[in-house]
Amino acid sequence: MHALSIAHPALQKNITRRRLLVGLGGLSAIAMLPMPALASRSAPVRKLNLHSINTGEQVSVSFWEEGHYIKEGLSTLNRVMRDYRAQEQFDIDPKLFDQLYLLQHRLGKTGEIQVISGYRSPNTNAMLRRTSSGVAKKSYHMKGQAIDLRIPGVPLAQLRQAALNMKVGGVGYYPKSNFVHLDTGPVRSWV
């Protein structure tokens, strides 16, 4: 190939142009990745401090180090996010923890995230649907893909806007109940 590029300068330009286009294409593909995916690759250690307001449990744990999820860290976070009513634990979608981590960093906060609701068993979700109009029949909470949260010191409207700006998953705004819903489903929002 090198001998051809010396003999044919036009071919040398095409190869250079082709390499440039391939490189730009790769950068474009990376730029199109959702923000949590980019954050996952760039942060050497990712840590969350969750506080379940219903059980009083509080943990501060790393769930991502050196490019990999940490099984023990995820397990600890899953325990705090369990359905406290039914005492049922579920494997929470790690992308939800990525979203929480990114949300905190967008807000410039590294402290506590208050968990109002994490995983919900089908029975708990059905019970909540009977007593509240704001509970979805096929809630992402039952799939381990949702959290209702607030962050001390961050106004709820600011928390909602930061979540919307990430453009990943669902964002629900519940100012009367004092929480924001975040999930790993399709991008959408509601009030």
Position 102, amino acid: L
Alpha-helix residue ranges (DSSP H) falling in 8-155:
9-31, 35-42, 71-80, 94-107, 122-131
**Overall pTM > 0.75:** yes
Separation in Å, CA 4 to CA 1, 10, 39, 150, 188 = 5, 10, 42, 63, 53
CA separation for the pair 22, 72 (Å, rounded): 40
For residue range 61-116, list pLDDT tens digits in order: 999 999 999 999 999 999 999 999 999 999 999 999 999 999 999 999 989 999 99
Confidence band for 4, pLDDT divided at 50, 70 and 90: very low
Q: Dihedrals φ, ψ of 132, to 5°?
A: -145, 145
CB atoms within 10 A of CB 129: 14
pLDDT at 132 (0 to 100): 86
Is pLDDT of 35 > 80? no
Element (H, E) at 11: helix 9-31
Position 171, amino acid: V
pLDDT at 10 (0 to 100): 52
* Contact indicator for 95, 184 with CB cutoff of 8 Å: yes
**Of 124, 108, 96, 109, nearest in space to 181 by CA:** 96
CA separation for the pair 182, 106 (Å, rounded): 15
Q: Dihedrals φ, ψ of 33, to 5°?
A: -65, 145
